[in-house]
Amino acid sequence: MSDTPAPVLEDNPVYLANSQRAQENKPPSRGTPLGAVAAARFRADTHEEMVAGIRSLDAGLVAGQFGTIHYKPVTVCGIDLKLEPLQPSIGTVVHGIDLARDLDSPEMVTFLRNLWLERRVIMFRDQNHLTHQDMVTFARHFGELGVRYGEPGHEPNSPRDLSNQINIPGVPEMLVLVSDERAAGAASAWHCDATWQKRPPMGSVLMCREAPPVGGDTCFCDCYAMWEGLSPETKQRVEHLTARHVGGVIHQMDGKTPESIHPVARTHPETGRTVLYVQQGFVKGFAPEHGIAPDEERALLQQMKLQEGRLEYTCRFRWEPGSIAMWDNRAVLHSASADFWPHRRRMERLTILDHDEARRTPYYAPAKP
C-alpha cells in the first residue's frame, strides 16, 4: 500500500478561493474545456445538480481488465518484461517491473533510458507501493533531481497556486496536483514542463495516487513528428527563429512572470534529431529581434499549432492508482484531459535534470546536408 495520505485542503485559503464557484453553487465556467465537457455531459444550472447528474452517469463503474493487447516480450537482467506500444511512434507501457526493486542493475537502467529516448514517454502500472523516497530514487537513476519546476533558482511562489500550498515532508521537490469537485483543474493545454525557464527540465515523472473512475487521461504528442509535419516553406521560414515562452500566473516568483527565449527548431541533445519546440501553452510569439510583422507571426503560429495533437502523433494514457509516466520534455508535449470533473484526481510529479549541464540549454545545430 501507498504511504501517501491525501493532503488536507478544506481550510486552505487557496483551495477555498479556487472553490468560489462551488460555494456559490455555480457549475464550472463553460469557457473552459472542463466546464464545457461537464455541461455537455449533464445540463444543469447549479453546481449541486450538475455534480449529482454526472455522478449518476458514472455510478456503477468498477475496475477490471479485459480484451487483448499486442506486446513485445523481452528479458532484461533475468526479468521478463512485456512492452506494450500505445501508438506506433510514441509511448510504451513497461509491464512486469517493480520500480522499487528492479533498478539496481545499470543494465536495466540503460535499457529503460534507451526505450525512453526511442518512445519519448514510457509508463508503468501497479507502482502504488512506491514511497515518495522510492520515487526520488527512481528519478535519480535517469538524471539529477530537479525542484518542483526543474532547475533550482526559479521556484514559483505564487499565492494563487494550490500546489504550492501542499508539502510532502522530506521531499520538497515533489509537486502535488489535486483536483476535486470543489476546486477543479487540469493542465489541459499542450505544453512541455517549465519551458519558461532558461534550462527547462529534461524529464518529468508523474505518479497517480487517486484516479477518477473515468477520464483525466494524459495525452502526449511527438515533437519530432510535429517538425516533420511542417511544410517545407514553413520549416525554412521558422528554422532559425527563436520564440518567447511565458509562464502563467501560477509560475510567478515574487510577483514576476518568468519568460525565456528558445529556438523554434531544437536539436535533441541525445538523439541529434530536430523537434518543433513550440508549445502554444507557453509560447506567445517570436523573439522581438526577428522583427516579424503581427500578421505573419499569427500565420506562422497557426501553421505550427496545426501540428499540436494530431492523432497520428499522439498517445493517450489512462491512469490508475499506481500508474507512472516518465516523459522526455525535449521530445513530447503533454496535456491532461479536463473531462473528469467532478471526480477527484491526485497526482505527484518530480522533474529530472540532465546530468550533463552542457545539454540543459535548448539549442539548434542543423544537421549537415
DSSP state of 147: B
CB of 194 to Fe ion, least distance (A): 8
| CB nearer Fe ion, residue 92 or residue 188 | 188
Do the beta carbons of residue 189 and residue 280 sit within 8 Å? yes
Q: x/- contact string, 223-242, with Fe ion (CB under 5 A)? A: --------------------
How many chain residues bind Fe ion (CB under 5 A)? Answer: 2
CB of 19 to Fe ion, least distance (A): 23
| Stretch in the footprint of Fe ion (CB under 5 A) among 30-38, 158-166, 190-198, 268-276 | 190-198
Compute φ and ψ for 135, nearest 5 degrees. -65, -40
193 near Fe ion, rule: CB under 5 A: yes
Lookup: cell for 191: 505544453
Do the beta carbons of residue 194 and residue 149 sit within 8 Å? yes
CB of 95 to Fe ion, least distance (A): 25
181 near Fe ion, rule: CB under 5 A: no
Q: x/- contact string, 133-172, with Fe ion (CB under 5 A)? A: ----------------------------------------
Lookup: cell for 300: 506562422
| CB nearer Fe ion, residue 149 or residue 286 | 149
Distance CA 360, CA 363 (A): 9
Report how far apart, in Å, the C-alpha atoms of 202 and of each of 91, 343, 350, 356 are.
17, 31, 11, 10
Do the beta carbons of residue 198 and residue 361 sit within 8 Å? yes
List, in order, residues 6 or more apart from 318 with CB less than 8 Å away.
217
Relative to beta strand 92-95, strand 121-124 is: parallel
Lookup: cell for 305: 499549432
Q: How far is CA 261 from the centre of its chain?
A: 21
CB of 273 to Fe ion, least distance (A): 22
CB of 313 to Fe ion, least distance (A): 17
CB of 329 to Fe ion, least distance (A): 9
173 near Fe ion, rule: CB under 5 A: no
Residues that bind Fe ion (CB under 5 A): 187, 193
